[in-house]
Structure 1
């Protein structure tokens, strides 16, 4: 039986919740400014400005001088030998007078690794010949007269038969080819070397047994690719 006059017991003290105000992680420090990244961006900006100014300077010089391609034309021809009897080879000896014009007023031209040969029906009929380097001054005309051939070159039956038929008619269509590298020079400025390819279509009056100069029946200006 319970004693109703007994005083009530005090409630047990309440424990504070765990991790309240203790073990709190410290606040992270603010990140330091990225000085290395700023320096890199500044360097990139300087390089970009330099390249932009250099490109503008080159473009200005190019627009002022504006180098044009040289011009070529064949003005004379001579045939000293044409032997197509030793199939599948052919032996020829030809000379062509080629006039080249530098149309630029302020830009001269250097020719390096200059070579020449003759083709017939898109097949080479003379060995490739190395020509000496050439310096072409502004607004000047230069004449070249290389003797091409004097060597055996493989030839197809189409080439041999075509030459024999053309000799019978007295008209032979040939192509004189010049190739190599050139660069332009304007004052102290020199460009990089550029490959060039010159194709000169010529029609010569050739009959069997004729040796020496032959008439040019057609020789339009040569096509120049750079």
Structure 2
């Protein structure tokens, strides 16, 4: 019994040491997600407080690792206004080599999304000529597969989140962002 416990603890210690060595060699860092540009091309409230909007986003994904390649899959980005989901977009899977950056153009078209009266008024006030714009919340869920050389792989989920302020349409450009 003592021999089995000794072998088990030696195996645990060796496994922990090998994980530490791999970590110290590769020094993995989490990928970064940002919104490089955004524009609110159209956005109006129809009768019945139904939102119709056309929003274009330029997503910027950075792999800061010097020795680790990353494969992104199952990418979904949801857009919220005042806590109400107004759009969602799925991004095609892609491979991001070490120390590289990728830009992905996303088009979110919202059609007949019902909004409560107060929220519809806030949208209308922000999108009028001379209005201050609208604040949108972007929430994502990305599955990443980290490729440590040829044999080691690690999978995890990233949940990026951004707040953006876009001006009133038709030239509603990105005024402020926080990711």
Q: Could you tell me the TM-score, scaled by structure 2's length? A: 0.87
Does the alignment pair 1:167 with 2:127? yes
Cα 1:185/1:86, change in 2 over 3 Å? farther
Q: What's the offset of the Cα at 1:58? A: 0.7
Between the aligned partners of 1:150 and 1:166, the Cα distance in structure 2 is 17
Aligned partners of 1:117 and 1:124 also within 8 Å: yes
Task: Report Cα offsets for 1:49-87 as digits up to 9, x if no partner.
Answer: 112101110111112212112222222223343232243
Structure 1 residues 210-225: aligned runs within 5 Å: 210=170, 213-220=171-178, 222=179
Does the alignment pair 1:115 with 2:73? no
> Could you tell me which residue of structure 2 aligns to residue 180 of structure 1?
142
- Which of 153, 166, 176 does residue 190 from structure 1 map onto? 153
Q: Could you tell me the TM-score, scaled by structure 1's length? A: 0.70
Aligned partners of 1:204 and 1:215 also within 8 Å: yes
Question: Which protein shows a greater Rg?
Answer: 1
SS at 1:219 equivalent: strand
Between the aligned partners of 1:83 and 1:166, the Cα distance in structure 2 is 10
Between the aligned partners of 2:15 and 2:138, the Cα distance in structure 1 is 41
More strand by share: 2
Does the alignment pair 1:139 with 2:99? yes
Aligned partners of 2:62 and 2:102 also within 8 Å: yes
Aligned length: 176
Cα 1:69/1:86, change in 2 over 3 Å? farther
Aligned partners of 1:117 and 1:148 also within 8 Å: no
Structure 1 residues 57-96: aligned runs within 5 Å: 57-87=18-48, 89-96=50-57
Task: Report Cα offsets for 1:124-173 as digits up to 9, x if no partner.
Answer: 111x2222112111100100111113444342223211101111314221
Between the aligned partners of 1:115 and 1:79, the Cα distance in structure 2 is 20
Q: What's the offset of the Cα at 1:88? A: 5.1
SS at 1:67 equivalent: coil
Aligned CA-pair RMSD: 2.0
SS at 2:95 equivalent: strand
Q: Which structure 1 residue ranges, 4+ long, deviate > 4 Å from structure 2?
A: none
Any stretches of 5+ residues in structure 1 without a counterpart? Answer: 1-39
Aligned partners of 2:40 and 2:55 also within 8 Å: yes
Between the aligned partners of 1:62 and 1:80, the Cα distance in structure 2 is 45
